[in-house]
């Protein structure tokens, strides 16, 4: 400790002891109220001495010159601290609350609150009702920091060493805190007009708590509460109060990641609206206006993010004394006061009204808001019942979620098993297709061998000048029929394989999006395309061989017809020559023929034979022309293929 400050404290204590001994302590207390900065300067020893009840005295006397000198020094010290540009407590020799624009001086109200602070144990135990009434009317801004610490019992904490240790540790929420603070300081009215130097202490408080309580970490709503505390008191004391609020005032439950407590509070508030403001509740239901739209920030920030600072500070005073009950009361009061306006608006209009217009109305007359809040019927038993209803609903939802989660898990396992089976089935099907393709290729090789032998025989037949006999033709016909049957079987097998491939592709496309990786899908698609191409190639080869066989058969048939026509033509020439000779003989032996009837029948028979031959020749010529056209069409089709 600084020697000079220690000396000042010793002198002050000595002079004050003289005052008490001279029965002047009461006069001293009435004439001077110790401010927060001076309390910090004097230390706890002097303040403990001041809090001792004065001895009874039948009379009072004037202060001695030494006492007046001491008071002058203390007032001078107070004035210096109040005029300090870095101080958040006062400006220009008069007290100014950092959470209010009004200037306060020592008056009767400050004297009363000074007495409350000096005799806190008595007021907090024996005068609780009177203390609550005073807090509801508003704590004097000059004594607000001290009263807040006493209300949450934070003045008994010693967190300085713990706070320093917490700041030395790292926190995963640091970047999120910095980002939120930059946005909040630039936009929100709570921090407007404040020097940016408060931003670093606010970051430190939030970081320290997030390191201390890993389960809760950092919540955006806590920045408003910690910011308000830093406007009232130094950084370490603000952390102590914030720690108490989180532990003892349900804020920790509100800020938990799952926010079950917040959901319960909003459910309770909705129940109050339904019971006490039924018309407004029906209006909310008609427009699908959820209570959570506007009430979540009420509970998370205790109206600090919703109301102007003056009205919000009044609410926070009561919150420090009575807890979250005031949030329900003030929320209901706001809705009751603005009910007429809200009933005229739609969902978007109500949202804008509660965010902008309603807070300004509350700030114009905070007393009305507080008075209306305590006219709201708040039944603790009813709130407990609503809490049980909400708990039952959440338990049912949790059971349903567990059941759904269980079903999802079972479904996932079944899908995995199904995918495995489908993968195996698809791989087996592809293997079977490969085997079937191999068998088709073997049958195709056999057919090509048979066709090749037939081509060789046909070439030999073309080279020979004689037409094959009936036995050879019968053998060729049997081989042709056998080849046709094998070809028909192969085509049927190809059609079945193509149909099977199509079914597999459809099943594969249905499952490939969810159960198979991209590379497996591409590999299977390539395999399908390969098999399909092989089938198409085999079918094209069959068609080509069929056309070649038809062409060869047509050529052979045409050759046989040509040879038959040639032989018929030679026979016709022979018959013509014979007919000519017969006619010559007929002219020479006319008389003989008339006498010999049997001989007359022979020329007639020859003429009939000649006509038959001529008819056959005409038919053969027509057949030759038809076969020529068929051969030409077959060659054109073969060229197109």
What does the pLDDT read at residue 298?
96
70 vs 198: CA distance, rounded Å: 34
Higher pLDDT, 376 or 452: 376
Mean pLDDT for 151-165 is 86
Count of beta carbons in the 10 Å neighbourhood of residue 88: 22
The per-residue DSSP string of 351-379 comes to: HHIIIIIHHHHHHH-HHHHHHHHTTS---
Report the chain's mean pLDDT, rounded to a whole number: 76
Higher pLDDT, 480 or 195: 480
Q: What's the pLDDT band for 43 if we cut at 50, 70, 90?
A: very low
Q: What's the pLDDT band for 212 if we cut at 50, 70, 90?
A: very high
What does the pLDDT read at residue 52?
40
- The one-character DSSP state at 143 is T
List C-alpha distances in Å: 407 to 412, 413, 415, 422, 511. Answer: 8, 10, 12, 22, 21
326 vs 205: CA distance, rounded Å: 25
Q: What's the pLDDT band for 93 if we cut at 50, 70, 90?
A: very low
Residue 62 has pLDDT above 80, yes or no: no
112 vs 12: CA distance, rounded Å: 24
230 vs 178: CA distance, rounded Å: 17
List C-alpha distances in Å: 160 to 166, 177, 222, 249. Answer: 10, 22, 20, 22
* % of the chain exceeding 90 in pLDDT: 38
Residue 471 has pLDDT above 90, yes or no: no
* DSSP-derived 3-state class of residue 618: helix
Tokens representing residue 534 in the block: 């092989």
What does the pLDDT read at residue 526?
76
Say if residue 626 is exposed, middle or buried (CB neighbours under 10 Å; 0-12, 13-18, 19+).
exposed
Q: What's the pLDDT band for 371 if we cut at 50, 70, 90?
A: very high
Higher pLDDT, 136 or 487: 136
Partnered with residue 95 across adjacent β-strands are: 90, 104
pLDDT in tens, 506-559: 766 666 555 556 666 677 777 777 777 777 777 777 777 777 777 777 777 787
What does the pLDDT read at residue 240?
94
Q: At what angle do helices 108-118 and 128-137 cross, to 10 degrees?
A: 140
Higher pLDDT, 265 or 180: 265
What does the pLDDT read at residue 637?
66
134 alpha-carbon distance from chain centroid: 50
Higher pLDDT, 363 or 92: 363
What does the pLDDT read at residue 160?
87
490 vs 537: CA distance, rounded Å: 13
List C-alpha distances in Å: 420 to 250, 415, 503, 521. Answer: 51, 8, 19, 14
Q: What's the pLDDT band for 194 if we cut at 50, 70, 90?
A: low
Higher pLDDT, 185 or 274: 274
Instruction: Rank 288-297, 435-444, 615-624 by mean pLDDT and report only the highest.
Output: 288-297
Residue 313 has pLDDT above 70, yes or no: yes
Instruction: Rank 80-84, 319-323, 517-521 by mean pLDDT and report only the highest.
Output: 319-323
What does the pLDDT read at residue 520?
67
What does the pLDDT read at residue 340?
95
287 vs 346: CA distance, rounded Å: 6
Q: What's the pLDDT band for 226 if we cut at 50, 70, 90?
A: very high
Q: For residue 95, what is the enclosing H or E element? A: strand 94-96
Residue 26 has pLDDT above 50, yes or no: no
pTM: 0.55
Instruction: Rank 24-33, 352-361, 488-497 by mean pLDDT and report only the highest.
Output: 352-361
Tokens representing residue 135 in the block: 């807090």
Residue 639 has pLDDT above 70, yes or no: no
Higher pLDDT, 201 or 28: 201
* % of the chain exceeding 70 in pLDDT: 70
Residue 599 has pLDDT above 50, yes or no: no
Mean pLDDT for 354-373 is 94
Instruction: Rank 13-27, 61-75, 107-121, 202-216 by mean pLDDT and report only the highest.
Output: 202-216
What does the pLDDT read at residue 148?
95
Residue 498 has pLDDT above 90, yes or no: no
Higher pLDDT, 441 or 235: 235
Mean pLDDT for 602-612 is 65
Could you tell me if 99 and 232 are in contact, meaning their C-beta atoms sit under 8 angstroms apart? yes
Q: What's the pLDDT band for 626 if we cut at 50, 70, 90?
A: confident
What does the pLDDT read at residue 190?
64
Could you tell me if 104 and 96 are in contact, meaning their C-beta atoms sit under 8 angstroms apart? yes
b/e for 18-32, b at 16 or more Cβ within 10 A? ebbeebbbbbbbeeb
* Residues 6 or more apart in contact with residue 541 via CB below 8 angstroms: 444
Residue 9 has pLDDT above 50, yes or no: no
pLDDT in tens, 384-426: 999 999 999 999 988 988 889 888 888 888 888 887 887 777 7
CA angle, 320 then 324 then 326, to 5°: 80
Residues comprising the chain, all counted: 641
Residue 144 has pLDDT above 90, yes or no: yes
Of the candidates 139, 143, 123, the residue with the CA atom closest to the CA atom of residue 131:
123
CA angle, 365 then 369 then 370, to 5°: 115
Mean pLDDT for 578-602 is 62
Residue 376 has pLDDT above 60, yes or no: yes
Mean pLDDT for 608-621 is 74
411 vs 17: CA distance, rounded Å: 82
446 vs 258: CA distance, rounded Å: 75
Could you tell me if 131 and 93 are in contact, meaning their C-beta atoms sit under 8 angstroms apart? no
């Amino acid at each position: 400790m600084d020697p000079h400050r220690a000396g000042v404290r010793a002198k002050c204590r000595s002079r004050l002891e003289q005052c008490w001994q001279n029965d002047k302590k009461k006069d001293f207390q009435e004439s001077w109220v110790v401010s927060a900065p001076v309390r910090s300067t004097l230390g706890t020893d002097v303040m403990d001495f001041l809090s001792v009840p004065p001895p009874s005295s039948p009379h009072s006397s004037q202060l001695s010159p030494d006492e007046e000198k001491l008071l002058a020094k203390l007032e001078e010290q107070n004035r210096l601290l109040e005029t300090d540009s870095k101080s958040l407590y006062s400006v220009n020799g008069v007290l100014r609350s950092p959470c209010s624009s009004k200037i306060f001086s020592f008056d009767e109200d400050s004297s009363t609150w000074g007495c409350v602070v000096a005799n806190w144990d008595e007021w907090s135990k024996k005068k609780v009702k009177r203390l609550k009434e005073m807090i509801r009317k508003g704590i004097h801004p000059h004594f607000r920091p001290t009263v807040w610490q006493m209300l949450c019992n934070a003045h008994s904490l010693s967190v300085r060493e713990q706070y320093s240790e917490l700041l030395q540790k790292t926190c995963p929420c640091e970047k999120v805190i910095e980002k939120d603070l930059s946005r909040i300081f630039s936009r929100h009215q709570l921090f407007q007009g404040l020097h940016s130097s408060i931003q670093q202490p606010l970051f430190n408080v939030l970081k320290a708590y997030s390191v201390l309580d890993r389960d809760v970490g950092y919540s955006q709503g806590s920045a408003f509460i910690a910011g308000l505390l830093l406007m009232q008191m130094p950084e370490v004391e603000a952390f102590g109060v914030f720690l108490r609020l989180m532990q003892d005032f349900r804020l920790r439950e509100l800020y938990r990641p799952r926010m079950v407590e917040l959901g319960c509070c909003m459910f309770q508030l909705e129940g109050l609206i339904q019971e006490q403001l039924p018309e407004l509740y029906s209006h909310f239901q008609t427009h699908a206006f959820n209570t959570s739209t506007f009430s979540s920030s009420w509970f998370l920030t205790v109206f600090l993010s919703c109301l102007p600072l003056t009205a919000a500070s009044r609410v926070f005073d009561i919150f420090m004394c009575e807890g979250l009950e005031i949030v329900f009361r003030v929320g209901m009061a706001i809705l009751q006061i603005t009910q007429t306006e809200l009933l005229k608006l739609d969902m978007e209009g109500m949202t804008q009204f509660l965010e902008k217009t309603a807070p300004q109305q509350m700030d114009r007359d905070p007393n009305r808001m507080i008075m209306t809040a305590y006219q709201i019927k708040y039944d603790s038993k009813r709130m407990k019942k609503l809490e049980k209803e909400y708990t039952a609903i959440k338990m049912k939802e949790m059971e349903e979620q567990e059941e759904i989660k269980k079903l999802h898990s079972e479904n996932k396992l079944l899908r995995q098993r199904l995918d495995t089976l489908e993968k195996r089935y698809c791989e087996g099907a592809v293997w079977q297709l490969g085997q079937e393709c191999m068998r088709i290729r073997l049958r195709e090789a056999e057919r090509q061998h048979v066709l090749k032998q037939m081509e060789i025989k046909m070439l030999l037949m073309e080279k020979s000048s004689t037409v094959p006999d009936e036995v050879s033709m019968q053998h060729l016909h049997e081989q042709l029929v056998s080849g046709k049957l094998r070809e028909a079987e192969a085509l049927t097998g190809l059609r079945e394989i193509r149909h099977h491939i199509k079914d597999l592709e459809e099943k594969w496309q249905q499952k490939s999006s969810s159960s198979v990786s991209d590379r497996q899908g591409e590999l299977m698609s390539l395999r399908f395309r390969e098999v399909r191409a092989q089938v198409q190639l085999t079918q094209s080869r069959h068609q080509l061989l069929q056309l070649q066989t038809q062409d060869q058969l047509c050529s052979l048939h045409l050759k046989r017809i040509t040879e038959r026509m040639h032989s018929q033509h030679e026979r016709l020439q022979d018959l013509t020559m014979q007919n000519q000779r017969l006619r010559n003989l007929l002219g020479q032996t006319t008389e003989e023929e008339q006498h010999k009837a049997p001989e007359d029948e022979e020329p007639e028979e020859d003429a009939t034979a000649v006509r038959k031959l001529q008819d056959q020749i005409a038919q053969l010529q027509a057949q030759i022309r038809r076969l020529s056209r068929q051969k030409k069409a077959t060659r054109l089709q073969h060229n197109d293929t």
